[in-house]
C-alpha cells in the first residue's frame, strides 16, 4: 500500500477533502497529514513526508529542488490547484517525480460567479444589502438590465 502525505493545514482539510474523500483515500493508501494549522516549511515537510511515495500538496505548498532531494522515495507531487509555478518541475523530473495538478473543474463555478457579479453590479444588490446590514437606508438608484448589453471577456 503506498504512503501518501497530505500537506494541507489542518483547518483546510474539510474544505478540500471532507470525511468521505479522506476515507476513500485511506482505503487505498496509508495516509499521513500535516499536523499543523499552517503550512509546513520545506524542511518540516521533508521530515514529515519521509518514506512517502506521493505528496498531495495544498495550493501554497512549494516544491523546490530541496524537497525532491530530501524525499528519495517520492514518485508524485499532486497539486490540488491549477498553479504549479512554485514547483521546480525540472528538479522533480530529475528525481523521477511526476508533477500533476488539478483539472479545470472549477469552470462552471467561475461562470456562475461571473453571472452573479454581473447581476449584482447591474442592480446594486450587494450595495443595498451592505447598507441594510449597517443599519443604514440605501440611496435609491436605477438598476440596469443585462438584456441587450454587450459583454467583453478578457483572459
pLDDT in tens, 111-133: 899 889 999 989 888 988 898 89
Superfamily, domain 3-101: NAD(P)-binding Rossmann-like Domain (3.40.50.720)
- DSSP assignment of 21-79, as one string? HHHHHHHHSEEEE--SSSPPPHHHHHHHTTT-SEEEE-TT--B-HHHHHH-TT--EEEE
- Break the chain into its structural domains and give their ranges: 3-101, 105-149
**Would the pLDDT of 102 be above 90?**
no
Cβ within 8 Å of residue 61, ≥6 positions away:
7, 39, 40, 45, 55, 79, 86
- The pLDDT assigned to 155 comes to 65
pLDDT computed for residue 98 by the predictor: 96
Amino acid at each position: 500500500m503506498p504512503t501518501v502525505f497530505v500537506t494541507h493545514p489542518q483547518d483546510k482539510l474539510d474544505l478540500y477533502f471532507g470525511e468521505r474523500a479522506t476515507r476513500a483515500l485511506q482505503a487505498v493508501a496509508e495516509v499521513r497529514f500535516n499536523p499543523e494549522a499552517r503550512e509546513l516549511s520545506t524542511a518540516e515537510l521533508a521530515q514529515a513526508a519521509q518514506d512517502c511515495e506521493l505528496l498531495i500538496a495544498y495550493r501554497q505548498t512549494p516544491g523546490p529542488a530541496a524537497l525532491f532531494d530530501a524525499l528519495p522515495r517520492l514518485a508524485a507531487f499532486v497539486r490540488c490547484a491549477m498553479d504549479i509555478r512554485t514547483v521546480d518541475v525540472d528538479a522533480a523530473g530529475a528525481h523521477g517525480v511526476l508533477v500533476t495538478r488539478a483539472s479545470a473543474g472549477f469552470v462552471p463555478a467561475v461562470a456562475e460567479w461571473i453571472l452573479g457579479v454581473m447581476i449584482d453590479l447591474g442592480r446594486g444588490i450587494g450595495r443595498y444589502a451592505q447598507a441594510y446590514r449597517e443599519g443604514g437606508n440605501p440611496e435609491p438608484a436605477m438598476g440596469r438590465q443585462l438584456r441587450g448589453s454587450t459583454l467583453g471577456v478578457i483572459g
